[in-house]
Amino acid sequence: MTTIQKTVITATIAILAGVGIYEACQATKMRDQVQTLHQQQTPLAGQIEQLNKALTDATNKLAALSADNERLNRNTAELLKLRSEANLWRSDAKELARLQTGDPNDPAISEALSWRGRVKMLKQHLEQNPGAGIPELQMATTQDWLNAARRELKTEVDYRRAMSGLRNAMESRFANELQSALKNYLDANNKQFPTDLSLLQPYFKAPVDDAILQRYAILPKEQMPNLGMGGKWIISPKSAVDEEFDSRVGIGPDGWGTAGSHAWNDPISSAIKTLDPVMKAYAAKNSGREPTKPAELLPYIETPEQRAAYDKALKFIEASNRYDKE
């Protein structure tokens, strides 16, 4: 082996040794870096676990607060109801004491006692017939009950009419509050009509019993065409308790109003339409003159449908005449 070959081999061995040493150093550095990363990740994992726990706690607290808020709203509504009832009881007690100390032979005192007796009878009727009530009656004051009982209560029709008057009065009172809430909602939502009545709840001055809102529905304005309340939609009760006597309230962007009992299914308009040929036949035989009383139309009725429409219209006219005389 020549000297040059020995030199080359020696140099190669030196290079290989240097590379090995370098790789060993790099491996050591890598192990140190990995160990360092593991050491850094350990507290991070603990922090992440703590953050997740904190997030879970915060979520649970938020759910608890939401439940508390819901209970508070219900409690507030119930408190307002109890306060109102307490005021009514105090007012009733004072008025009753005043009447009891008066002269029972005084016609005014006697009438007042009789009137209050009718209120008691009307309330008893409601207890025996809970279907005649609506949630809005919780808003009724002593004066509202007195107004409802101002006429005699002798027949079932008397009670139906009295309860209808009370329901109508309370629906009108609530309609005023509902229209104000609707206006506030429209102002806050670019004049967009609500898609659900529960959305109006935050816009009432005081919390409203959900049972009241659930009686109402959002309807096309065509369902109450005689009420010009603006917009394409109105809010109205879903159904009547007594279609023969109950008015129908409608609430829209520009106000609220009521329509007569015919607004529920308009049986009278339907009857009049069915009787139109009868009216024309009568006019043709009587020089264009209109009948002065319903019985004059009887000879001109030709179909069972016309007779049924006549009976329905006659019943409505008689009921209206009785009411006007009372």
How many C-beta neighbours within 10 Å does residue 181 have? 21
pLDDT-derived band at 8 (thresholds 50, 70, 90) equals very low
Please check the confidence at residue 17 and state whether its pLDDT lies above 50: no
Residues in the chain: 326
Given this model, what pLDDT does residue 16 score?
46
- What are the φ/ψ torsions at residue 219 (nearest 5 degrees)? -125, 155
Please check the confidence at residue 325 and state whether its pLDDT lies above 60: no
Could you tell me the pTM of the whole model? 0.53
**Does one domain contain both 129 and 231?**
yes
**Does one domain contain both 42 and 187?**
no
**Does one domain contain both 71 and 108?**
no
Q: How far is CA 167 from CA 41, 164, 174, in A?
A: 70, 5, 11
Given this model, what pLDDT does residue 170 score?
97
**Does one domain contain both 125 and 258?**
yes
**Does one domain contain both 277 and 255?**
no
Number of domains in the chain: 3
- What are the φ/ψ torsions at residue 236 (nearest 5 degrees)? -150, 155
Percent above pLDDT 70 for the chain? 61
Given this model, what pLDDT does residue 96 score?
53
Long-range Cβ contacts of 314-321 (<8 Å, 24+ apart): 316/267, 316/268, 316/271, 319/244
Considering all CA atoms of the chain, what is the largest pairwise distance in Å, rounded to the nearest integer?
154
**Does one domain contain both 4 and 148?**
no
Q: Report pLDDT digits (tens) over 119-134.
A: 999 999 999 999 999 9
Instruction: Identify the helix (H) or strand (E) that includes residue 306.
Output: helix 304-325
- Ranking 44-58, 151-165, 172-186, 202-216 by mean pLDDT, the lowest is 44-58
**Does one domain contain both 26 and 79?**
yes
Domain closes at, from 99, 123, 144? 99
Task: Write out the residue range of the structural domain in which residue 91 sits.
Answer: 1-99
